[in-house]
Structure 1
């Protein structure tokens, strides 16, 4: 059989795993807007999964599961983020951009002062990302809604916990400047090869 046939499979040793690139930042820092811009450029992107967990709980009559049962919420979130991590590695792409990573779960638990099982911190060290981009707090774009209820002052504290958690996991987040989305996009793409 010719290696040029359409159904040729590369030997497993040559299959590349997509690099997992995570966008982090407190609420309303522009992560979703930036992710949408990356999608428009054709890059595979994985959306924030916490909104799915929140909406599912709201359909069951629980308005804010994170506030009423933070450990249950975080367990569901951790499970979905691990699955998202695995899904990202299976994509046939050079890069996959992800809105928030696994360490966000323990950072948010630290933010509210909630104790959590060791499996949270073990997940942080087991599932490693290739690059972390931090979107800084930006008061001008901060908004709240049914799923995003944190005030700007709370967002500052969340940002601090995110930075502390990711740094304790051995990451050095690259800060994205507060500029229009196209310039943010260019900044990230330029830093992909550094």
Structure 2
């Protein structure tokens, strides 16, 4: 049986680097789609869609993550890794103190992951760029909202310790060995 594994954490915690390491080791991974949505909006002249229209941005993310989840069913690998999951969408809206429709939570309960690995805020590796504009303090607050959102759905969150990218990938894979 295939297992869907999601890596979560605030911005700049090393999720994408760990997923790239997993890809290099032959695992199938679904990339973070928010950068794609942000770049698409910027090409249309909207500098920060997440801030200017958080509900539109979040609807686009929800739709994209749902498609990723459904696409994962077609993969023949025992594990499919996701760079962020569906509950991230309402967690970020909670961070912004924005209202959102109930289907953001119902979709999170409909499309469930088998394991959730949290990469915690790590100031030594945190950087910002054109798509990541949050301060480190905001990244910590987002971390708390993510934790709350996933726990609200009923997930047990596994915290990935600080370390090299290889060590962090090893930690995740070693945690999954009993699942094979």
Which category of TM-score, normalised to the shorter sequence, fits these structures? over 0.9
- Pairs within 5 Å for 1:69-108: 69-108=53-92
Paired residue total: 178
1:149 CA drift (Å): 0.4
Q: How does 1:134-153 map to 2 (within 5 A)?
A: 134-153=118-137
Deviation at 1:155, TM superposition (A): 0.3
**Pair member with larger Rg:** 1
2: CA distance between counterparts of 1:107 and 1:81? 14
Structure 1 gap segments, 5+ residues each: 1-15
2:9 maps to 1:25: yes
What corresponds to 1:49 in structure 2? Answer: 33
Give the TM-score normalised by structure 1. Answer: 0.90
Please give the alpha-carbon distance, in whole angstroms, between the structure 2 residues aligned to 1:27 and 1:118.
25
Answering whether residue 25 of structure 2 is matched by residue 36 of structure 1, we say no
1:6-52 CA deviation, whole Å, 9 max, x = no partner? xxxxxxxxxx4x21100000000000100010000000111100011
Map 1:101-140 onto structure 2 (within 5 A). Answer: 101-140=85-124
Aligned pair partner of 2:158 in 174, 180, 185: 174
Give the gaps of 5 or more residues in structure 2.
Answer: none
Q: TM-score, normalised by structure 2?
A: 0.97
For 2:120 and 2:143, the matched residues in 1 are separated by 8
| Structure 1 residue runs of 4 or more that deviate by more than 6 Å after TM superposition | none
Report the Cα distance in structure 2 between the residues aligned to 1:170 and 1:89, rounded to whole angstroms.
Answer: 22
